[in-house]
Amino acid sequence: MSEYQMIINGQKVASDATFPVINPATEEVAAQCPKATEAHLDQAVAAARAAFPAWSARPGAERGAIIHEIGKAIEEHQAELVSLLTLEQGKPGTGFAGMGAAFEIGGTLAWCHAAADLELPVEVIQDNDEARIEVHRKPLGVVGSITPWNFPLMIAIWHVMPALRSGNTVVLKPSEYTPLTTLRFAEIINDLLPPGVFNVVTGDGGLGAAMTNHPDINKIVFTGSTATGKKIMQNASVNLKRLTLELGGNDAAIVLPDVDVAAIAPKVFATAMFNNGQTCAALKRLYVHEDIYEEMCDALVALANSVTTADGSTDPDFGPVQNKAQFAKVCAMADEARASGARFLTGGEPMPGPGYFYPVTIVADIDDDTRLVREEPFGPILPVMKFSDVEDALRRANDSPSGLGGSVWSGDPQKAAALASRLECGTAWVNTHAMIQPDAPFGGSKESGIGVEFGRYGLEEYTNIQTVYISKT
């Protein structure tokens, strides 16, 4: 069993205490991971604070060049990282539609290089005989990053690279369910960064709470549940930390009757089920016009019955649900839907044997008040609801405390775009769903988060504005 250590101030650091990392396909211990104490956290924060002045003083182009080198290092170790990701997260190497572990590691490369090339130029808003007024973007200081278990390395890249590019230093805590790939990544890139610029500590939710309370951390960036996001907001008040929170989504899609069902069903299925449905912006509530409802259900069932779910090391389409608690939630939500009279078209029962395996499941004729519709399942299960009036569908889609993403599907893109603009969400898609890219801002409305990630808008989240007024009189 490999030995994993934290990175603090450029040094590998062990801990007297450890915790097990479970392979979700076998329920066996894959590795022991160091459990950080608050003293370890204090050391990491102190190292990041000490490294901040020199790192923030470097020209932006130099920081960008180092981030490009980080991207190259990831590419050199790509195969190793893919295997490790499958071991701890469960996703297959290739997977359904090529969106498995290799897809995630490929995404880290894309976002690394995109972040490296971002710029925050000085904006001149006045330059006349009276004065020159400039708007500068200044780094915040120490950024605390808390990452989830569904895309452990790619989301770490989303957090860390803009923070570094804008001149901040970082202390990162990965999910206790999936810390291994992140620790190995930190080890791979350790020699590319000055000591203290990037630190990784590992532990459970108590460590994350200590980070959000820490007086010397200036910003928290967090991807995870809305409930945890609310706690972070409360804790951040200790020093008015800046926050970027990308929280839970329960994305709705509206399918209008003018679509070609055979053409769009594979896209609907893929955007609902990729990463085994364990994606914040996955399609999770499907509203289909009554004229094509049964045809759409039949098409989705055919797709569900054509895929395989098994140990990710055998490279099936889908692997297990990542952890026991999430598996139990998916099972419970399915059982409650069945008890309420919903029609299960395929799947709906956990698979036999060890591992947290749940088959791809399509559920029809389900009431909007059922828990499977009201809450985010975060698993391979999709409820399909019927509508007759598009205004009613829009009302039902918006009747949620979540507002991460949403989509409209139609043979008339202009009509669909007009309807999509009325969805109460951070990103509205037309004839697709959950498509993101490094230069387009992404974030939630309502209880799905605060702030945005990606591109210039995301980079600005890691800075304060400083207005410089130069008098000429």
Q: What is the pLDDT of residues 77-101, one digit of tens each?
A: 999 999 999 999 999 999 999 999 9
| Whole-number pLDDT of residue 2 | 75
Same domain flag for 306 and 163: no
Residue 200's closest CA among 166, 222, 175, 224?
Answer: 175
Could you give the CA distance from residue 84 to residue 390 in angstroms, rounded to a whole number?
Answer: 46
**Residue 300 domain-assigned (yes or no):** yes
Q: At 64, which amino acid appears? A: G
Q: Name every residue whose Cβ is closer than 8 Å to that of residue 88 and which is 6 or more positions away in sequence.
A: 21, 23, 30, 31, 152, 177, 178, 179, 180, 181
* Strand 405-409 with 427-430, pairing: parallel
Q: What is the pLDDT of residues 277-313, one digit of tens each?
A: 999 999 999 999 999 999 999 999 999 999 999 999 9
Task: Report the CATH number that the domain containing residue 374 is assigned in CATH.
Answer: 3.40.309.10
Q: Do 178 and 276 lie in a common domain?
A: no
From 55, 161, 156, 153, select the one nearest 102 (Cα to Cα). Answer: 153
Token pair listed for 79: 């195969």
Same domain, 407 and 466: no
Same structural domain for residues 325 and 392?
Answer: yes
Is residue 61 domain-shared with residue 129, that is, in the same domain?
Answer: yes
Q: Is residue 102 part of a domain?
A: yes
Instruction: Please give the Cα distance from 29 to 21 (Å, whole number).
Output: 6
Farthest CA pair distance, the chain: 80
If asked whether residues 224 and 308 sit together in one domain, one would say no
Asked whether residue 442 is assigned to any structural domain, the reply reads: no
Q: Where are the alpha helices (DSSP H) in 389-428?
A: 390-398, 413-420
> What's residue 20's pLDDT?
97
- Which parts of the chain register pLDDT below 50? none
In this structure, what DSSP letter does residue 224 have?
S
Per the structure, the complete domain to which residue 385 belongs is given by 251-437
User: What are residue 402's phi and psi, to 5 degrees?
Assistant: -85, 155
Report the number of distinct structural domains present in the chain. Answer: 2
pLDDT at 68: 98
For residue 55, give the nearest of 168, 147, 140 by alpha carbon.
168
116 CB contacts (<8 Å, ≥6 apart)?
A: 64, 65, 67, 68, 71, 161, 165
We report the CATH number of the domain holding residue 139 as 3.40.605.10
Contacts of 204 (CB under 8 A, 6+ apart): 19, 35, 176
Q: Which helix (H) or strand (E) holds 385?
A: strand 381-387
User: Cα(324)–Cα(19) distance, rounded to whole angstroms?
Assistant: 16
Other beta carbons within 10 angstroms of residue 47's beta carbon come to: 23
Helix (H), strand (E) at residue 131: strand 131-139
Which residues are bridge partners to 430 per DSSP?
Answer: 408
- Same domain, residue pair 262 and 383: yes
In a domain, 20, yes or no: yes
Give the C-alpha separation, 423 to 452, whole Å.
18
Closest CA to 4 of 41, 35, 37: 35
Residues designated catalytic: 246, 280
User: Does residue 176 sit in the same domain as residue 66?
Assistant: yes
Rounded distance, CA 34 to CA 16, Å? Answer: 8
| CB of 269 closer than 8 Å to CB of 277 | no
Residues 118 and 65 occupy one common structural domain: yes
443 within some domain: no
Classify residue 421 as exposed, middle or buried by CB count within 10 Å of its CB (0-12, 13-18, 19+). Answer: exposed
* Contact yes or no for 356/27 (Cβ under 8 A): yes
Do both 310 and 432 map to the same domain?
A: yes
Question: Does residue 1 lie within any of the structural domains?
Answer: no
Tell me the CA distances in angstroms from 384 to 75, 363, 381, 417, one per residue in order. 40, 6, 10, 22
CB of 172 within 8 A of CB of 156? yes
Radius of gyration of the chain from its Cα atoms, rounded to whole angstroms: 23
Whether 406 maps to a domain, the answer reads yes
Q: Retrieve residue 244's tokens.
A: 């970027």
Q: Are residues 33 and 157 part of one domain?
A: yes
Are 213 and 302 in the same domain?
A: no
